[in-house]
Amino acid sequence: MTTSHPPRFTSTGLELADPLPPEEEARQLEELRRFSRDSRLLASMREDLLKEHDGQWTAMYEGRFFHAHGHEELVRALVDAGIDPGLAVRKFLSSSGMILSLRA
């Protein structure tokens, strides 16, 4: 796996020290698109989900919905399904207005 160094500031602005190989750039772009789709889907379902899952942790990965009362329990469910929890959209669902969201 190729690693990239942090960006650096130059006289022309911010640039990557080592550009990503095209296949890695494409993989990261697809991952960003998937995460964005899952985020929008989870947000669009919020009102319906509140009726059954208020006060629970929720997750979405590739359109698959997961829920649990505790965060550790949710992570376990994702791992049991073969999903890296760091790649799933995870949110605490609450009608109280409290917002908790995790990535990684």
pLDDT at 11: 66
Give me the tens of pLDDT residue by residue for the chain, a chain 104 residues long.
455 566 666 666 666 667 788 899 899 999 999 999 999 999 999 999 999 999 999 999 999 999 999 999 999 999 999 999 999 999 999 998 666 666 55
pLDDT at 1: 45
CA distance 18 to 4: 6
pTM of the model: 0.73
Residue spans of the domains in the chain: they are: 43-104
Give the burial class of 5: count Cβ atoms within 10 A of its Cβ; 0-12 exposed, 13-18 middle, 19 or more buried: exposed
pLDDT at 5: 61
Torsions phi, psi of 8, nearest 5?
-130, 155
Taking a C-beta distance cutoff of 8 angstroms, is the pair 37, 53 a contact?
A: no
